Amino acid sequence: MTTAPERRRRSFALCVLLVAANLVLLNWIALGRFARVDLTRDRLFTLHEATCDLLAGLDDLVTLRVFMSEKKFREQAAYAAIPREIRDLLDEYAARARGKLLVEYLDPSDDSELRLEARGAGLHERSLQGFGEESLVVFTCYLGIVLSYGGKPDQVVEISYPIETLEYSLDLAIARLTQKETITIGFNSIRPRSGAGMRGLGAEAFDEHDIDGDYQTVKQALARQFEVERMPMDREIPAHVDLLVVHNVAHLDDRAQFYLDQYLMHGGKLVILAEGIERNRQVGVLAARPVLPDALFARYGFTIKRNLVLDQQCAPSDQGLPLYFIPELIERYFDPESPLMSGLKAFHVFEASAIELNPPAGVSGLVLARSTPGAWAQEGFFDTDTRTLRPPARLGEYRQFDMVGLLSGEFKSFYSDRALPEGVATSDRGPTRADFERQGLSLEEEEGEEEDAKEEQGEEPAEAPPQDPGEPETELPGAASVPFIREKSPQTAIVVIGNSRFLCNEIVRSAPGNLPFFWTLVDRLTVGSRLSEVQNRSAAPPSIKADLSPAEKRLVKYCGMLGMPLVVLVLGVLLFVLRRTRNVSVQVEP
């Protein structure tokens, strides 16, 4: 017969065993599963759904070699949390990848061979400041990741701190490594400044924007995932170009318009960046742009207005003055249903013009972004002097303007009912086998039609000699005396933005939303992924109203500074008066 103390001991031992078993079971269930309470507005400390989709879709092993000077970081209190945060993030990556991602941690602090390996992989040693016992100390360290996959060239990710941007950088590197096909983004060029034989031409003959000049920041950013090429407009646009950015429109001659048209007709996608005004480089004043391919654009369903849009929702100058000619386009006036604007908060345009969509039959139009209702436009005469520029006094002059638009559908060729420019696809070039394939016709169908015609005339059809596959493509029998063009496009898209200057280096650096906006467009029009949403997450607290006017901003500012002290002062006086009144009433009672 067991005594009471023995029963209590057995019960206690059983309880301990059950608790231990539950802990083991709980850890086993939680292995590979993560849960966090993330109170940030955009859930910055939780892997984005796009990241999870990317990791779940891996079909082969991706190896991450993490070069991290953990020993040196642990010796400095200010940096001691870095290794833990990075490990937490990469552990979650490995769990989401379900065996398709291997993480290897390497500490080069005391290992010269690892330091050589890190430098050979493309990582740079960096210097950081820390605190010793009595003085400031400077130490060197490595902090970066080298990604390997399937024998492809390694991708290198330098880690910056805080690490909020690490998820996006890793996603881009993994996507670049694992994508099946190369995505090419072309930027059109009419006359590059570095070209030979350009002497004697006026300044207006050269490209307004250059991907190796004032668009260099954009080029470097896109090159993290895409191939970026300069596309001359004096020849046919190659078929490997997935998206063409037309940011030089000032001198699109007839030949350039023909090649642009046929690129669209073969299913190419376009991003048109153009304003209806230009700045004279000699005197520095704005004027309406005299030449635009208006007829070409109208055929596709849009118009670039020759005006300057100004907005009270705008960027401030260094002196705090509103720069009305740099409107800020904000989330409230984005199309909420379009994936092209998903996750975007705001971006700025610089000396921009409004657009107008008039989609033809078979094409749908959608305005992606508008100005705020506090905008107005200048036409004919343009004033951007901050000393004299003032908003209109009459309310009737304010209205919203369409700034970004999307046209999608099947477009009709600009040259389907007009003469072709001289010098393009001349009569000595008939349709080739590739031409018929692009048209959706088979060679047999075309030859069959020719044979039927000969039979009707009483002629015997001739047998075409076999062609060696190794020989260059030749023209087919019965080559037409007119150029072979495609008159209608398959399903494709054009994005129109009434501004090209918002991607210039100085604007991109001062307006943090511009590059994410453009990246989102490129990403969605080509890859169709949601990785851009990872970049668009923000730690900014939500505001009560997104489009506060300058006067409203000042009111909020001073209310925050003075309002609470005044409330406390008034409440203090009221409490003092109430207590004094109560004390007096008590003293006069008999």
Tens of pLDDT, residue by residue over 468-516, are 544 444 444 433 334 568 899 999 999 999 999 999 999 999 999 999 9
Residue type, 64: L
Closest CA to 307 of 377, 392, 402: 377
207-227 tens-digit pLDDT: 899 999 999 999 999 998 899
Pairing between β-strand 308-311 and β-strand 375-378 as defined by DSSP bridges: antiparallel
The SS3 of residue 503 is helix
363, pLDDT greater than 90: yes
- Residue partners of 510: CB distance under 8 A and separation at least 6: 315
- Residue partners of 214: CB distance under 8 A and separation at least 6: 504, 505
- State the CB neighbour count (10 A cutoff) for residue 468: 7
74, pLDDT greater than 70: yes
The SS3 of residue 480 is coil
Higher pLDDT, 486 or 15: 486
**The predicted structure's pLDDT at residue 47:** 85
Residues 498-513, buried b or exposed e (16+ Cβ, 10 A)?
bbbbbbbeebbeebeb
| Fold exhibited by the domain 49-177 | Glutaredoxin (3.40.30)
Higher pLDDT, 477 or 37: 37
For residue 442 the two structure tokens come to: 């088979």
Spatial separation of the C-alpha atoms in residues 150 and 143, rounded to whole Å: 24
Burial of 305 by CB count in 10 Å (0-12 exposed, 13-18 middle, 19+ buried)? buried
For residue 176 the two structure tokens come to: 């670049």
Across the beta sheet with 322-330, the strand order is 314-316, 322-330, 346-348
**The predicted structure's pLDDT at residue 361:** 94
What average pLDDT does range 28-34 have in this prediction?
A: 53
Spatial separation of the C-alpha atoms in residues 452 and 223, rounded to whole Å: 52
589, pLDDT greater than 70: no
**The predicted structure's pLDDT at residue 332:** 94
| Confidence tier at 462 by pLDDT (50, 70, 90) | low
Could you tell me where the beta strands, DSSP code E, fall in 159-275? 184-189, 227-232, 243-246, 269-273
| Confidence tier at 161 by pLDDT (50, 70, 90) | confident
Q: Which of 23-37, 275-289, 539-553 has the highest mean pLDDT?
A: 275-289
Spatial separation of the C-alpha atoms in residues 506 and 553, rounded to whole Å: 26
- How far are the Cα atoms of 194, 322, 505, 509, 563 from residue 513, in angstroms, in the given order? 31, 18, 13, 9, 32
Averaged pLDDT score across all residues of the chain: 81
555, pLDDT greater than 80: no
Task: Enter the DSSP assignment of 462.
Answer: P
384-442 tens-digit pLDDT: 888 888 999 999 999 999 999 999 999 999 998 888 888 775 333 444 444 445 445 44
Q: Which residues pair with 68 in a beta bridge?
A: 143
Residue 348 — φ and ψ, nearest 5°? -115, 145
Higher pLDDT, 55 or 584: 55
Question: Radius of gyration of the chain from Cα atoms?
Answer: 33
95-110 tens-digit pLDDT: 999 899 999 999 998 8
Q: What share of the chain is helix, strand, coil (3-state, %, to 5)?
A: 35, 20, 45
| Fold exhibited by the domain 181-416+487-536 | Rossmann fold (3.40.50)
Spatial separation of the C-alpha atoms in residues 285 and 325, rounded to whole Å: 13
41, pLDDT greater than 60: no
Angle between helices 166-178 and 81-97 (to 10 degrees): 40
Closest CA to 67 of 13, 126, 150, 137: 126
- State the CB neighbour count (10 A cutoff) for residue 546: 15
461, pLDDT greater than 60: no
Spatial separation of the C-alpha atoms in residues 368 and 495, rounded to whole Å: 9
What average pLDDT does range 292-320 have in this prediction?
A: 93
